[in-house]
Protein backbone atom coordinates (compact mmCIF):
# COMPACT_ATOMS: atom_id res chain seq x y z
CA UNK A 1 0.00 0.00 0.00
CA UNK A 2 1.55 3.29 -1.14
CA UNK A 3 1.44 6.03 1.47
CA UNK A 4 -0.95 8.85 0.60
CA UNK A 5 1.07 12.01 0.19
CA UNK A 6 0.94 15.26 -1.75
CA UNK A 7 4.22 16.13 -3.43
CA UNK A 8 5.06 19.58 -4.81
CA UNK A 9 7.18 19.86 -7.94
CA UNK A 10 8.85 23.28 -7.68
CA UNK A 11 10.74 24.70 -10.66
CA UNK A 12 12.29 28.05 -9.86
CA UNK A 13 14.67 30.51 -11.49
CA UNK A 14 17.86 30.96 -9.46
CA UNK A 15 20.59 33.56 -9.86
CA UNK A 16 23.94 31.83 -9.66
CA UNK A 17 25.67 32.69 -6.40
CA UNK A 18 22.96 35.07 -5.12
CA UNK A 19 22.40 32.90 -2.09
CA UNK A 20 20.22 35.33 -0.15
CA UNK A 21 17.82 35.81 -3.07
CA UNK A 22 17.79 32.09 -3.92
CA UNK A 23 17.02 31.04 -0.36
CA UNK A 24 14.30 33.67 -0.17
CA UNK A 25 12.61 32.38 -3.33
CA UNK A 26 12.93 28.76 -2.27
CA UNK A 27 11.42 29.55 1.13
CA UNK A 28 8.49 31.31 -0.52
CA UNK A 29 7.83 28.32 -2.77
CA UNK A 30 8.09 25.86 0.14
CA UNK A 31 5.60 27.96 2.10
CA UNK A 32 3.22 27.76 -0.87
CA UNK A 33 3.72 23.99 -1.03
CA UNK A 34 2.82 23.67 2.64
CA UNK A 35 -0.23 25.85 2.06
CA UNK A 36 -1.30 23.48 -0.72
CA UNK A 37 -1.31 20.60 1.76
CA UNK A 38 1.94 18.98 0.60
CA UNK A 39 4.06 16.73 2.80
CA UNK A 40 7.05 16.64 0.41
CA UNK A 41 8.53 19.18 -2.02
CA UNK A 42 11.11 18.56 -4.75
CA UNK A 43 13.49 21.28 -6.01
CA UNK A 44 15.84 21.19 -9.04
CA UNK A 45 19.50 20.19 -9.29
CA UNK A 46 21.95 22.55 -7.51
CA UNK A 47 19.00 24.64 -6.36
CA UNK A 48 20.99 26.54 -3.73
CA UNK A 49 23.72 27.84 -6.04
CA UNK A 50 21.97 27.68 -9.40
CA UNK A 51 23.31 25.70 -12.35
CA UNK A 52 26.02 25.76 -13.63
CA UNK A 53 28.24 27.58 -11.10
CA UNK A 54 31.37 26.65 -13.07
CA UNK A 55 34.70 27.77 -11.55
CA UNK A 56 32.98 29.51 -8.65
CA UNK A 57 33.13 25.99 -7.23
CA UNK A 58 36.91 26.40 -6.93
CA UNK A 59 36.56 29.36 -4.55
CA UNK A 60 36.51 28.37 -0.85
CA UNK A 61 34.52 31.50 0.03
CA UNK A 62 31.78 30.54 -2.44
CA UNK A 63 31.53 27.04 -0.98
CA UNK A 64 31.43 28.36 2.58
CA UNK A 65 28.67 30.83 1.69
CA UNK A 66 26.79 28.02 -0.07
CA UNK A 67 26.97 25.81 3.03
CA UNK A 68 25.86 28.71 5.22
CA UNK A 69 22.93 29.41 2.90
CA UNK A 70 21.79 25.79 2.97
CA UNK A 71 22.01 25.67 6.75
CA UNK A 72 19.90 28.80 6.85
CA UNK A 73 17.28 27.22 4.57
CA UNK A 74 17.06 24.13 6.78
CA UNK A 75 16.58 26.32 9.83
CA UNK A 76 14.09 28.74 8.21
CA UNK A 77 11.85 25.86 7.16
CA UNK A 78 12.14 23.91 10.41
CA UNK A 79 8.56 24.62 11.47
CA UNK A 80 6.92 24.00 8.10
CA UNK A 81 6.56 20.30 8.79
CA UNK A 82 7.52 19.63 5.19
CA UNK A 83 10.03 17.21 3.71
CA UNK A 84 12.26 18.82 1.07
CA UNK A 85 14.45 17.18 -1.58
CA UNK A 86 16.95 19.80 -2.70
CA UNK A 87 19.88 19.79 -5.09
CA UNK A 88 23.09 21.25 -3.71
CA UNK A 89 26.88 21.01 -3.59
CA UNK A 90 28.33 18.83 -0.84
CA UNK A 91 31.90 18.09 0.23
CA UNK A 92 33.58 14.81 -0.62
CA UNK A 93 34.70 13.29 2.70
CA UNK A 94 36.91 10.74 0.94
CA UNK A 95 40.58 11.85 0.76
CA UNK A 96 40.68 10.61 -2.84
CA UNK A 97 38.96 12.16 -5.82
CA UNK A 98 37.43 15.54 -6.61
CA UNK A 99 36.59 17.58 -3.51
CA UNK A 100 32.86 18.01 -4.23
CA UNK A 101 29.71 16.09 -5.02
CA UNK A 102 26.65 17.15 -6.97
CA UNK A 103 24.06 15.96 -4.47
CA UNK A 104 20.41 15.65 -3.55
CA UNK A 105 19.56 16.09 0.12
CA UNK A 106 16.29 15.25 1.87
CA UNK A 107 15.67 17.35 4.97
CA UNK A 108 12.71 17.96 7.26
CA UNK A 109 12.03 19.80 10.51
CA UNK A 110 15.59 21.10 10.78
CA UNK A 111 17.32 17.76 10.16
CA UNK A 112 19.08 16.30 7.12
CA UNK A 113 17.69 12.80 6.71
CA UNK A 114 19.37 11.50 3.55
CA UNK A 115 22.00 12.46 0.98
CA UNK A 116 22.55 10.97 -2.47
CA UNK A 117 25.27 11.93 -4.97
CA UNK A 118 24.99 12.21 -8.74
CA UNK A 119 26.67 9.23 -10.40
CA UNK A 120 26.84 10.14 -14.09
CA UNK A 121 28.75 13.38 -14.60
CA UNK A 122 28.40 14.72 -18.16
CA UNK A 123 31.42 16.26 -19.86
CA UNK A 124 30.07 16.75 -23.40
CA UNK A 125 28.59 19.76 -25.19
CA UNK A 126 27.98 22.52 -22.60
CA UNK A 127 28.58 20.26 -19.59
CA UNK A 128 31.80 19.97 -17.62
CA UNK A 129 30.80 18.35 -14.33
CA UNK A 130 33.72 15.93 -14.14
CA UNK A 131 35.92 19.03 -13.75
CA UNK A 132 34.47 19.67 -10.30
CA UNK A 133 32.57 16.68 -8.92
CA UNK A 134 33.36 13.18 -7.78
CA UNK A 135 30.76 10.64 -8.97
CA UNK A 136 28.62 9.08 -6.29
CA UNK A 137 27.75 5.47 -5.68
CA UNK A 138 25.09 3.62 -3.76
CA UNK A 139 21.42 2.96 -4.30
CA UNK A 140 19.92 6.42 -3.70
CA UNK A 141 16.81 4.92 -2.09
CA UNK A 142 15.17 6.17 1.09
CA UNK A 143 11.88 5.60 2.87
CA UNK A 144 10.17 8.84 3.87
CA UNK A 145 6.85 8.61 5.74
CA UNK A 146 6.33 5.10 4.33
CA UNK A 147 6.95 6.28 0.76
CA UNK A 148 9.88 4.40 -0.80
CA UNK A 149 11.80 6.98 -2.87
CA UNK A 150 14.47 6.48 -5.51
CA UNK A 151 16.43 9.72 -5.83
CA UNK A 152 18.50 10.49 -8.94
CA UNK A 153 20.01 13.62 -10.46
CA UNK A 154 19.58 14.62 -14.12
CA UNK A 155 22.06 12.55 -16.20
CA UNK A 156 21.53 9.53 -13.94
CA UNK A 157 18.41 8.60 -15.94
CA UNK A 158 19.95 9.35 -19.37
CA UNK A 159 21.76 6.07 -19.98
CA UNK A 160 19.10 3.58 -21.02
CA UNK A 161 20.82 1.14 -23.38
CA UNK A 162 17.63 0.60 -25.36
CA UNK A 163 17.46 4.31 -26.25
CA UNK A 164 21.14 5.08 -26.77
CA UNK A 165 22.92 2.67 -29.17
CA UNK A 166 26.30 3.78 -27.80
CA UNK A 167 25.80 4.60 -24.09
CA UNK A 168 28.25 7.11 -22.66
CA UNK A 169 28.59 5.34 -19.32
CA UNK A 170 29.20 1.77 -18.22
CA UNK A 171 26.70 1.98 -15.37
CA UNK A 172 22.95 2.48 -15.27
CA UNK A 173 22.07 4.07 -11.90
CA UNK A 174 18.34 3.40 -12.23
CA UNK A 175 18.80 -0.26 -13.12
CA UNK A 176 21.33 -0.71 -10.33
CA UNK A 177 19.05 1.03 -7.83
CA UNK A 178 16.14 -1.24 -8.63
CA UNK A 179 18.32 -4.35 -8.53
CA UNK A 180 19.77 -3.47 -5.11
CA UNK A 181 16.59 -2.53 -3.25
CA UNK A 182 14.61 -5.21 -1.43
CA UNK A 183 11.27 -3.42 -1.85
CA UNK A 184 9.72 -1.92 -4.96
CA UNK A 185 10.07 1.82 -5.36
CA UNK A 186 6.93 3.88 -4.91
CA UNK A 187 8.33 6.69 -7.03
CA UNK A 188 11.51 7.54 -8.91
CA UNK A 189 12.52 11.19 -8.44
CA UNK A 190 14.89 13.09 -10.71
CA UNK A 191 16.30 16.54 -9.92
CA UNK A 192 17.49 18.26 -13.09
CA UNK A 193 19.10 21.30 -14.64
CA UNK A 194 18.55 20.32 -18.25
CA UNK A 195 19.00 23.11 -20.82
CA UNK A 196 16.62 23.66 -23.70
CA UNK A 197 17.38 22.96 -27.33
CA UNK A 198 15.19 22.19 -30.33
CA UNK A 199 13.98 18.60 -30.23
CA UNK A 200 15.13 17.87 -26.70
CA UNK A 201 11.66 17.79 -25.17
CA UNK A 202 10.82 14.84 -27.41
CA UNK A 203 13.93 12.96 -26.25
CA UNK A 204 13.03 13.62 -22.63
CA UNK A 205 9.50 12.38 -23.15
CA UNK A 206 10.77 9.14 -24.69
CA UNK A 207 13.26 8.56 -21.86
CA UNK A 208 10.65 9.21 -19.18
CA UNK A 209 8.00 6.99 -20.76
CA UNK A 210 10.48 4.14 -21.33
CA UNK A 211 11.69 4.29 -17.72
CA UNK A 212 8.20 4.14 -16.29
CA UNK A 213 7.04 1.32 -18.54
CA UNK A 214 10.17 -0.79 -18.24
CA UNK A 215 10.49 -0.57 -14.46
CA UNK A 216 6.78 -0.17 -13.61
CA UNK A 217 7.48 2.86 -11.46
CA UNK A 218 6.06 6.39 -11.44
CA UNK A 219 8.48 9.23 -12.18
CA UNK A 220 8.74 12.77 -10.84
CA UNK A 221 11.08 15.07 -12.79
CA UNK A 222 11.82 18.62 -11.57
CA UNK A 223 13.82 20.89 -13.84
CA UNK A 224 15.42 24.31 -13.34
CA UNK A 225 13.90 27.20 -15.27
CA UNK A 226 15.45 30.49 -16.46
CA UNK A 227 18.30 31.86 -18.52
CA UNK A 228 21.91 31.51 -17.43
CA UNK A 229 24.45 33.07 -19.78
CA UNK A 230 24.02 31.23 -23.09
CA UNK A 231 21.90 28.43 -21.58
CA UNK A 232 18.12 28.49 -21.31
CA UNK A 233 16.38 26.13 -18.90
CA UNK A 234 12.79 25.48 -19.90
CA UNK A 235 11.35 23.90 -16.76
CA UNK A 236 8.60 21.56 -17.96
CA UNK A 237 8.71 19.60 -14.70
CA UNK A 238 6.54 16.52 -15.02
CA UNK A 239 5.10 13.47 -13.28
CA UNK A 240 4.18 10.20 -15.00
CA UNK A 241 2.44 7.05 -13.78
CA UNK A 242 3.69 3.49 -14.25
CA UNK A 243 2.31 3.38 -17.80
CA UNK A 244 4.24 6.51 -18.77
CA UNK A 245 1.09 8.65 -18.93
CA UNK A 246 1.53 12.27 -17.85
CA UNK A 247 -0.35 12.98 -14.62
CA UNK A 248 1.12 16.40 -13.80
CA UNK A 249 3.03 19.02 -15.75
CA UNK A 250 4.41 22.44 -14.89
CA UNK A 251 4.42 25.29 -17.38
CA UNK A 252 7.52 25.86 -19.47
CA UNK A 253 9.80 28.92 -19.51
CA UNK A 254 8.42 30.28 -16.23
CA UNK A 255 8.56 29.54 -12.52
CA UNK A 256 5.79 27.17 -11.48
CA UNK A 257 4.64 24.57 -8.97
CA UNK A 258 2.37 21.58 -9.52
CA UNK A 259 1.11 19.09 -6.94
CA UNK A 260 0.87 15.30 -7.29
CA UNK A 261 -1.32 13.17 -5.00
CA UNK A 262 0.20 9.71 -4.54
CA UNK A 263 -3.12 8.37 -3.27
CA UNK A 264 -4.73 8.75 -6.69
CA UNK A 265 -1.63 9.44 -8.81
CA UNK A 266 -3.31 12.54 -10.18
CA UNK A 267 -1.95 16.06 -10.41
CA UNK A 268 -2.17 19.46 -12.03
CA UNK A 269 -1.56 20.11 -15.73
CA UNK A 270 -0.16 23.53 -16.54
CA UNK A 271 0.83 24.82 -19.96
CA UNK A 272 1.30 23.02 -23.26
CA UNK A 273 2.47 19.39 -23.69
CA UNK A 274 6.16 18.74 -23.10
CA UNK A 275 6.63 17.77 -26.73
CA UNK A 276 4.61 19.08 -29.65
CA UNK A 277 6.43 19.22 -33.00
CA UNK A 278 3.88 21.74 -34.26
CA UNK A 279 4.92 24.21 -31.58
CA UNK A 280 8.71 24.19 -32.02
CA UNK A 281 8.85 27.73 -33.45
CA UNK A 282 6.79 28.98 -30.52
CA UNK A 283 9.16 27.13 -28.14
CA UNK A 284 12.20 28.85 -29.62
CA UNK A 285 10.48 32.22 -29.37
CA UNK A 286 9.65 31.67 -25.68
CA UNK A 287 13.19 30.45 -25.03
CA UNK A 288 14.76 33.53 -26.62
CA UNK A 289 12.46 35.86 -24.70
CA UNK A 290 13.33 34.17 -21.41
CA UNK A 291 17.05 34.01 -22.20
CA UNK A 292 17.16 37.69 -23.17
CA UNK A 293 15.22 38.85 -20.12
CA UNK A 294 17.31 36.86 -17.68
CA UNK A 295 20.68 37.69 -19.19
CA UNK A 296 19.95 41.43 -19.31
CA UNK A 297 18.46 41.66 -15.83
CA UNK A 298 20.80 39.19 -14.09
CA UNK A 299 23.73 41.23 -15.43
CA UNK A 300 22.27 44.35 -13.81
CA UNK A 301 20.76 46.08 -16.86
CA UNK A 302 17.18 47.09 -17.54
CA UNK A 303 17.43 48.84 -20.92
CA UNK A 304 18.88 47.84 -24.29
CA UNK A 305 19.79 49.44 -27.60
CA UNK A 306 19.61 47.75 -31.02
CA UNK A 307 20.75 48.84 -34.46
CA UNK A 308 17.76 48.60 -36.81
CA UNK A 309 18.73 48.01 -40.43
CA UNK A 310 15.27 47.37 -41.82
CA UNK A 311 16.16 43.68 -42.19
CA UNK A 312 14.69 40.58 -40.57
CA UNK A 313 17.54 39.89 -38.12
CA UNK A 314 17.42 43.24 -36.34
CA UNK A 315 13.61 43.25 -36.53
CA UNK A 316 13.40 39.85 -34.83
CA UNK A 317 15.94 40.88 -32.17
CA UNK A 318 13.99 44.05 -31.40
CA UNK A 319 10.67 42.17 -31.19
CA UNK A 320 12.15 39.64 -28.76
CA UNK A 321 13.70 42.42 -26.66
CA UNK A 322 10.42 44.30 -26.46
CA UNK A 323 8.60 41.18 -25.27
CA UNK A 324 11.37 40.31 -22.82
CA UNK A 325 11.97 43.73 -21.26
CA UNK A 326 9.00 45.90 -22.18
CA UNK A 327 8.86 48.30 -25.13
CA UNK A 328 9.73 51.25 -22.91
CA UNK A 329 13.15 49.74 -22.25
CA UNK A 330 14.17 49.26 -25.90
CA UNK A 331 15.81 51.87 -28.14
CA UNK A 332 16.04 51.18 -31.87
CA UNK A 333 18.62 53.14 -33.79
CA UNK A 334 18.76 53.38 -37.57
CA UNK A 335 22.21 54.21 -38.95
CA UNK A 336 21.78 54.66 -42.71
CA UNK A 337 24.88 54.63 -44.90
CA UNK A 338 25.28 55.94 -48.47
CA UNK A 339 24.06 52.53 -49.68
CA UNK A 340 21.00 52.17 -47.43
CA UNK A 341 17.73 52.16 -49.33
CA UNK A 342 14.90 54.52 -48.36
CA UNK A 343 12.69 51.46 -47.96
CA UNK A 344 15.00 50.01 -45.27
CA UNK A 345 14.78 53.19 -43.22
CA UNK A 346 10.99 53.21 -43.64
CA UNK A 347 10.79 49.58 -42.53
CA UNK A 348 12.96 50.24 -39.47
CA UNK A 349 10.74 53.15 -38.44
CA UNK A 350 7.56 51.15 -39.05
CA UNK A 351 8.91 48.30 -36.92
CA UNK A 352 9.60 50.73 -34.07
CA UNK A 353 6.05 52.05 -34.31
CA UNK A 354 4.60 48.54 -34.36
CA UNK A 355 6.60 47.64 -31.24
CA UNK A 356 6.07 51.04 -29.54
CA UNK A 357 9.81 51.30 -28.86
CA UNK A 358 11.89 54.49 -28.92
CA UNK A 359 13.46 55.20 -32.29
CA UNK A 360 16.17 57.53 -33.57
CA UNK A 361 18.14 58.00 -36.79
CA UNK A 362 21.88 58.68 -36.94
CA UNK A 363 23.17 58.83 -40.55
CA UNK A 364 26.78 57.66 -40.91
CA UNK A 365 27.59 59.06 -44.37
CA UNK A 366 29.54 62.02 -42.99
CA UNK A 367 31.62 59.84 -40.67
CA UNK A 368 32.23 57.38 -43.51
CA UNK A 369 33.56 60.15 -45.75
CA UNK A 370 35.82 61.35 -42.92
CA UNK A 371 37.26 57.87 -42.53
CA UNK A 372 37.91 57.57 -46.27
CA UNK A 373 39.51 61.02 -46.35
CA UNK A 374 41.76 60.17 -43.43
CA UNK A 375 42.81 56.86 -44.99
CA UNK A 376 43.21 58.19 -48.53
CA UNK A 377 47.00 58.77 -48.33
CA UNK A 378 47.49 55.08 -47.48
CA UNK A 379 44.63 53.67 -49.59
CA UNK A 380 45.59 55.70 -52.66
CA UNK A 381 45.49 53.57 -55.82
CA UNK A 382 43.71 50.65 -54.13
CA UNK A 383 40.28 49.68 -55.40
CA UNK A 384 37.33 49.70 -52.96
CA UNK A 385 36.63 46.26 -51.50
CA UNK A 386 35.30 44.69 -48.31
CA UNK A 387 37.47 47.12 -46.30
CA UNK A 388 35.11 50.00 -47.03
CA UNK A 389 32.13 47.82 -46.14
CA UNK A 390 33.69 46.92 -42.79
CA UNK A 391 34.41 50.59 -42.02
CA UNK A 392 30.68 51.32 -42.25
CA UNK A 393 29.84 48.41 -39.94
CA UNK A 394 32.46 49.54 -37.43
CA UNK A 395 31.19 53.12 -37.44
CA UNK A 396 27.78 51.76 -36.54
CA UNK A 397 29.25 49.56 -33.82
CA UNK A 398 31.07 52.54 -32.29
CA UNK A 399 27.96 54.72 -32.27
CA UNK A 400 25.81 51.99 -30.77
CA UNK A 401 28.39 51.28 -28.06
CA UNK A 402 28.67 55.01 -27.28
CA UNK A 403 24.91 55.24 -26.73
CA UNK A 404 24.94 52.05 -24.67
CA UNK A 405 27.70 53.49 -22.46
CA UNK A 406 26.13 56.92 -22.08
CA UNK A 407 22.64 55.67 -21.29
CA UNK A 408 23.55 52.56 -19.28
CA UNK A 409 22.05 50.20 -21.85
CA UNK A 410 23.18 46.79 -23.04
CA UNK A 411 23.81 46.59 -26.79
CA UNK A 412 22.13 43.59 -28.41
CA UNK A 413 23.88 42.36 -31.55
CA UNK A 414 21.69 40.99 -34.31
CA UNK A 415 23.70 38.42 -36.30
CA UNK A 416 22.15 35.01 -36.98
CA UNK A 417 23.79 31.57 -36.92
CA UNK A 418 24.05 31.25 -40.70
CA UNK A 419 26.06 34.48 -40.99
CA UNK A 420 28.20 33.80 -37.93
CA UNK A 421 29.06 30.32 -39.19
CA UNK A 422 30.61 31.55 -42.43
CA UNK A 423 32.00 34.84 -41.11
CA UNK A 424 29.48 37.03 -42.95
CA UNK A 425 29.79 39.60 -40.17
CA UNK A 426 32.23 42.32 -39.14
CA UNK A 427 34.41 42.02 -36.07
CA UNK A 428 34.04 45.18 -33.94
CA UNK A 429 31.16 46.20 -36.21
CA UNK A 430 27.82 44.40 -36.32
CA UNK A 431 29.36 41.85 -33.93
CA UNK A 432 29.66 44.51 -31.21
CA UNK A 433 27.43 44.01 -28.20
CA UNK A 434 26.85 42.37 -24.85
CA UNK A 435 24.42 39.67 -25.99
CA UNK A 436 23.80 38.06 -29.38
CA UNK A 437 20.13 37.14 -29.10
CA UNK A 438 19.75 35.12 -32.33
CA UNK A 439 23.34 33.92 -32.73
CA UNK A 440 22.15 30.27 -32.68
CA UNK A 441 19.13 30.84 -34.93
CA UNK A 442 19.64 29.79 -38.58
CA UNK A 443 18.31 32.21 -41.21
CA UNK A 444 15.38 30.01 -42.21
CA UNK A 445 14.29 29.84 -38.57
CA UNK A 446 14.62 33.64 -38.37
CA UNK A 447 11.97 33.91 -41.08
CA UNK A 448 9.77 31.33 -39.33
CA UNK A 449 10.01 33.28 -36.06
CA UNK A 450 9.11 36.53 -37.81
CA UNK A 451 6.04 34.94 -39.36
CA UNK A 452 5.10 33.45 -35.99
CA UNK A 453 5.31 36.85 -34.30
CA UNK A 454 3.00 38.22 -36.99
CA UNK A 455 0.31 35.61 -36.28
CA UNK A 456 -2.18 37.98 -34.65
CA UNK A 457 -1.09 41.29 -36.14
CA UNK A 458 1.72 42.71 -38.23
CA UNK A 459 4.65 43.40 -35.91
CA UNK A 460 7.50 42.87 -38.35
CA UNK A 461 6.74 44.68 -41.63
CA UNK A 462 5.83 42.26 -44.42
CA UNK A 463 8.24 44.03 -46.76
CA UNK A 464 11.05 43.30 -44.30
CA UNK A 465 10.25 39.58 -44.49
CA UNK A 466 9.75 39.43 -48.25
CA UNK A 467 12.67 41.48 -49.58
CA UNK A 468 15.99 39.80 -50.50
CA UNK A 469 18.39 40.04 -47.55
CA UNK A 470 21.22 42.55 -47.94
CA UNK A 471 23.89 44.12 -45.75
CA UNK A 472 23.52 47.32 -47.86
CA UNK A 473 27.22 48.16 -47.56
CA UNK A 474 27.84 48.39 -51.31
CA UNK A 475 25.77 49.31 -54.39
CA UNK A 476 22.97 46.81 -55.16
CA UNK A 477 24.41 44.33 -52.66
CA UNK A 478 22.57 41.08 -51.89
CA UNK A 479 23.57 38.34 -49.42
CA UNK A 480 23.33 35.73 -52.18
CA UNK A 481 26.06 37.56 -54.13
CA UNK A 482 28.49 36.17 -51.54
CA UNK A 483 26.64 33.20 -50.05
CA UNK A 484 24.63 30.20 -51.23
CA UNK A 485 20.86 30.64 -50.97
CA UNK A 486 19.96 30.44 -47.29
CA UNK A 487 17.91 27.22 -47.60
CA UNK A 488 21.02 25.56 -49.07
CA UNK A 489 23.41 27.16 -46.60
CA UNK A 490 21.29 26.25 -43.57
CA UNK A 491 20.97 22.63 -44.67
CA UNK A 492 24.75 22.32 -45.14
CA UNK A 493 25.43 23.99 -41.80
CA UNK A 494 23.01 21.69 -39.96
CA UNK A 495 24.60 18.62 -41.53
CA UNK A 496 28.16 19.75 -40.79
CA UNK A 497 27.81 21.46 -37.40
CA UNK A 498 25.00 19.58 -35.70
CA UNK A 499 25.12 16.15 -37.34
CA UNK A 500 28.93 16.12 -37.79
CA UNK A 501 28.64 14.80 -41.34
CA UNK A 502 31.71 14.73 -43.60
CA UNK A 503 32.02 16.72 -46.81
CA UNK A 504 31.48 13.55 -48.84
CA UNK A 505 28.33 12.71 -46.90
CA UNK A 506 26.92 16.21 -47.41
CA UNK A 507 27.69 16.06 -51.13
CA UNK A 508 25.86 12.73 -51.25
CA UNK A 509 22.80 14.55 -49.88
CA UNK A 510 22.63 16.40 -53.20
CA UNK A 511 24.73 19.54 -52.67
CA UNK A 512 27.44 20.71 -55.06
CA UNK A 513 30.91 19.80 -53.82
CA UNK A 514 32.33 23.25 -54.57
CA UNK A 515 29.60 24.85 -52.45
CA UNK A 516 30.04 22.43 -49.55
CA UNK A 517 33.83 22.79 -49.55
CA UNK A 518 33.55 26.58 -49.60
CA UNK A 519 31.09 26.61 -46.69
CA UNK A 520 33.33 24.32 -44.62
CA UNK A 521 36.36 26.47 -45.49
CA UNK A 522 34.54 29.58 -44.30
CA UNK A 523 33.54 27.90 -41.04
CA UNK A 524 37.19 27.00 -40.40
CA UNK A 525 38.80 30.34 -41.20
CA UNK A 526 36.29 32.39 -39.20
CA UNK A 527 36.74 30.66 -35.88
CA UNK A 528 38.75 33.68 -34.69
CA UNK A 529 35.72 35.94 -35.19
CA UNK A 530 33.40 33.73 -33.22
CA UNK A 531 35.88 33.50 -30.36
CA UNK A 532 35.54 37.28 -29.99
CA UNK A 533 31.78 37.45 -30.51
CA UNK A 534 29.36 38.36 -27.73
CA UNK A 535 27.73 35.53 -25.86
CA UNK A 536 24.79 34.03 -27.78
CA UNK A 537 21.67 32.22 -26.58
CA UNK A 538 21.70 28.47 -27.32
CA UNK A 539 18.62 26.94 -28.96
CA UNK A 540 20.02 24.23 -31.28
CA UNK A 541 21.87 21.02 -30.44
CA UNK A 542 25.23 22.59 -31.28
CA UNK A 543 25.75 26.30 -30.78
CA UNK A 544 28.93 28.29 -31.28
CA UNK A 545 30.48 29.17 -27.93
CA UNK A 546 30.40 27.15 -24.72
CA UNK A 547 29.56 23.78 -26.27
CA UNK A 548 31.78 23.92 -29.39
CA UNK A 549 35.48 23.74 -28.63
CA UNK A 550 37.57 24.07 -31.76
CA UNK A 551 41.09 25.48 -32.02
CA UNK A 552 41.49 28.80 -33.79
CA UNK A 553 44.99 28.16 -35.11
CA UNK A 554 44.78 24.79 -36.86
CA UNK A 555 45.53 23.29 -40.24
CA UNK A 556 43.12 20.38 -40.61
CA UNK A 557 41.53 20.20 -44.06
CA UNK A 558 39.13 17.34 -44.54
CA UNK A 559 40.15 14.97 -47.31
CA UNK A 560 43.52 16.67 -47.90
CA UNK A 561 45.57 13.49 -47.52
CA UNK A 562 46.69 11.96 -50.88
* Bridge-based pairing state of the strands 187-192 and 219-223: parallel
Question: Which member of 118, 417, 443, 542 is catalytic?
Answer: 118
Dihedral angle, C-alpha 503, 509, 513, 517, nearest 10 °: -40
- Long-range CB pairs of 112-115, under 8 A, 24+ apart, other chains included: 112/74, 113/83, 113/142, 113/144, 114/142, 114/144, 114/151, 115/90
Q: b or e along 386-404 (b: 16 or more beta carbons within 10 Å of the residue's beta carbon)? A: eebbbbbbbbbbebbbebb
pLDDT of the residue at 472? 73
- For this structure, is 406 an active site residue? no
Q: Out of 1.20.120.1810, 3.40.50.620, 3.40.50.300, 3.30.70.260, which CATH number does the structure's domain 282-479 have?
A: 3.40.50.620
* Cis bond before residue 451 (omega within 30° of 0): no
Q: What is the tens place of the pLDDT at every residue in 485-525?
A: 999 999 999 999 999 999 999 999 999 999 999 999 999 99
Distance CA 385, CA 272 (A): 51
Domain ranges of the chain: 6-273, 282-479
Exactly one of 86, 129, 134, 154 is catalytic; name it: 154
Q: How many beta carbons lie within 10 A of that of residue 35, not counting itself?
A: 9
Topology adopted by domain 6-273: Nitrilase/N-carbamoyl-D-aminoacid amidohydrolase (3.60.110)
User: Whole-number mean pLDDT of the chain?
Assistant: 94
Angstrom CA distances, 226 to 66, 235, 254, 299, 427, stand at: 20, 8, 7, 14, 30
Q: How far is CA 229 from the centre of its chain?
A: 8
Convert the pLDDT of each residue in 412-452 to its tens digit.
999 999 999 999 999 999 999 999 999 999 999 999 999 99
Q: Which of 240, 268, 266, 236 is nearest to 254 (CA)?
A: 236
Residue 139 CB: number of other CB atoms within 10 A?
A: 15
Angle at 132 between CA 131 and CA 136, to 5 degrees: 110
Question: Is residue 303 among the annotated active site residues?
Answer: no
Nearest CA among 354, 355, 385, 391 for reference residue 372: 391
226/481: higher pLDDT = 226
86 is a catalytic site residue = no
Contact 234, 253 (CB under 8 A): yes
Report pTM.
0.95
Over 60: is that where the pLDDT of 275 sits? no
The DSSP annotation for 362-427 comes to ---HHHHHHHHHHHHHHHTTPPP-HHHHHHHHHHHHHHHHHHHHHHTPEEEE---HHHHHHT-S-T
In terms of residues, how long is the chain? 562
User: Tens digits of per-residue pLDDT, 60-85?
Assistant: 999 999 999 999 999 999 999 999 99
Check if 6-273 and 282-479 are the same fold: no
Amino acid sequence: MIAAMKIALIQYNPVIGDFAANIGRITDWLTRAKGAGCQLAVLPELAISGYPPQDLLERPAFLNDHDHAFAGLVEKTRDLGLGVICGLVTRNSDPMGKPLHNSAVLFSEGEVLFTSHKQLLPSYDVFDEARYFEPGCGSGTFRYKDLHLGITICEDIWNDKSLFPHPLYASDPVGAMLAQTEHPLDVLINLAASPFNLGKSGIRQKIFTTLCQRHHVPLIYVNQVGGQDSLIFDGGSIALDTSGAVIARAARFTEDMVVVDTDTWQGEIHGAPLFDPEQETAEVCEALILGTRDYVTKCGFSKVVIGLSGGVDSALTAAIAAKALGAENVLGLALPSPYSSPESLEDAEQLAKNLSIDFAVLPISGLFETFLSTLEPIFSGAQPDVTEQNIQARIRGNLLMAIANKQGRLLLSTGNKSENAVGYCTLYGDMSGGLAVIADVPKQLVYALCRYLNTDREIIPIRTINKPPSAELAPDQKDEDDLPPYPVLDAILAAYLEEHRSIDEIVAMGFARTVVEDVVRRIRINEYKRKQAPLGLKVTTKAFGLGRRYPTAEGYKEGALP
